[in-house]
Structure 1
Amino acid sequence: MARDTTVPRDQVEDVLDDWPDDPTAVAHTVMETYGAPNEATESRLIWFDNGPWKYSILYREGVSHEFPAQHTDYLEQAIDYAVDPDRYDDLGQFDGSVTVRRTRGELSAECHGEPANFLALNLAHDILAGEKTVGEARKAYTEIYARKEAGGRPEYVQGLKFDLPETDQRDPDEKTLTEEIKQEAEHQVH
């Protein structure tokens, strides 16, 4: 299916008929906000360029996660965002559901819903911008999450609190395979 077309709603519902209740509920919430997905398979629904997201992928099968409380991650949402490789460890220590894809220039979060993904990415940005340490971000995540679960609408869960870059964030890295190295390898093989 093309990125600019959507799956008919009845086909999406046919897919969701075989899904567990929790990801089905998330699917309906995402569809209320962004409309039908661009792709639907037995294992996932995918939206492209929906709202602030480069893409959103809803997985039928989630991953159990204990931070900040037990829940299951079903919804991955990505933005264009270059991360300095020297900062990857900070993000890994912050939240294992935040993922950097350096070559693609993407930063994503996978949680049980969009508000939690906004929360994770806003705090990841705070860490990368030097506004919070990893420990401060984890503490803030726990406190904000508790307010959200109690029925509050903290700013950090309502949307991205930072501007997305307008330039290409992809990192093709650097070419290291020179003609000299190729020739040396061929010489060693033969």
Structure 2
Amino acid sequence: MRRGFLPVLAITVGSTMVAACASVTLRTPESRRYFAEAVTENWSDYSRLQAARLMEEYGPPDKVGHAELVWNDKGVWKRIRVWDVTPYYDSNTGSPNLEQTVSYPVLPETRAQLAALGRKVQVSSDGTELSARGTSETANLLSLNLAEEILAGRRSPADAARFYESMINLSISGKSSPYLERLLFTPRPAGPASGGAR
């Protein structure tokens, strides 16, 4: 790249060309919303609808990249990420494309207990965050609620895995549960003396 020139990202939205320097920060909510809509125009319908739902609920994202949108400090969430995935053949569902993160310290020796939830729950490398990856906020709430119960010793990993399946089936049948509606615990940052441990 020649000195003095900035890389330019150009996106076509309908018949309109949107161009922005890759290094320019989108400072206003309106500009972030517009750019997010332009970026997601090229995503699969499945992912675009997920992004639109999040923008409706949480407002414009705080960070807009070509492959993902990110919100910071929205409600109980420390971070929300959505990215484009291809939906399953002939289906309105797809691979997980929504990650929601809370502050929650996790001891290194307790991380293995979360294996019962598979890749649905991740612990940050420093042990200060719990993240759920799923296809919906409902699934993520369920995953995090069960992860917290496992870590607090109120539910065994095997029971949590069984309970997860029963709650997903309940949701599919059109019914609900507090596990699917909200966090049943209060996210909490690690204290300075805890070093990420609880």
Q: Which residue of 2 aligns with 1:29?
A: 53
In the alignment, is the contact (CA less than 8 A) between 2:141 and 2:179 conserved in 1? yes
In structure 1, distance between residues paired with 2:148 and 2:128: 14
The one-character-per-residue Cα deviations of 1:131-170 (angstroms, maximum 9, x if unpaired) are 1111100111001111111112211111100112255478
Q: Which residue of 1 aligns with 2:42?
A: 18
In structure 2, distance between residues paired with 1:71 and 1:18: 16
Q: Which residue of 1 aligns with 2:18?
A: none
In structure 1, distance between residues paired with 2:105 and 2:70: 22
Q: Which residue of 2 aligns with 1:185?
A: none
Gaps of 5+ in 2: 1-24
Q: Which residue identity does 1:22 align to in structure 2? A: Y
Cα pair distance change 1:146/1:133, threshold 3 Å: same
- Judge which range, 11-20 or 87-96, deviates more: 87-96
In structure 1, distance between residues paired with 2:83 and 2:115: 22
In the alignment, is the contact (CA less than 8 A) between 1:103 and 1:172 conserved in 2? yes
1:120 aligned onto 2:143:
yes
**Of residues 77, 81, 88 in structure 1, which corresponds to 2:104?**
81
**Of residues 161, 171, 174 in structure 2, which corresponds to 1:138?**
161
Q: Which residue of 1 aligns with 2:72?
A: 48
**Of residues 126, 148, 157 in structure 2, which corresponds to 1:103?**
126
Superposed CA RMSD = 2.5
1:153 aligned onto 2:173:
no
1:171 aligned onto 2:182:
no
Paired residues for 1:56-67 under 5 Å: 56-61=80-85
In the alignment, is the contact (CA less than 8 A) between 1:74 and 1:111 conserved in 2? yes
In structure 2, distance between residues paired with 1:99 and 1:167: 16
Q: Which residue identity does 2:152 align to in structure 1? A: A
1:148 is paired with a residue whose SS is helix
In structure 1, distance between residues paired with 2:32 and 2:158: 45
TM-score, normalised to structure 1, is 0.79
In structure 2, distance between residues paired with 1:62 and 1:39: 22
* Aligned-residue offset at 1:10: 2.2
In the alignment, is the contact (CA less than 8 A) between 1:62 and 1:73 conserved in 2? no
- Alignment length, in residue pairs? 167
2:96 is paired with a residue whose SS is strand
Q: Which residue identity does 2:58 align to in structure 1? A: Y
In the alignment, is the contact (CA less than 8 A) between 2:104 and 2:189 conserved in 1? no
1:73 is paired with a residue whose SS is coil
The one-character-per-residue Cα deviations of 1:34-62 (angstroms, maximum 9, x if unpaired) are 11101111100000001111000101137
TM-score, normalised to structure 2, is 0.76
* Aligned-residue offset at 1:9: 2.3
Cα pair distance change 1:83/1:166, threshold 3 Å: closer
Gaps of 5+ in 1: 65-69, 174-190
In structure 2, distance between residues paired with 1:109 and 1:145: 15
1:58 is paired with a residue whose SS is strand
In the alignment, is the contact (CA less than 8 A) between 1:75 and 1:111 conserved in 2? yes
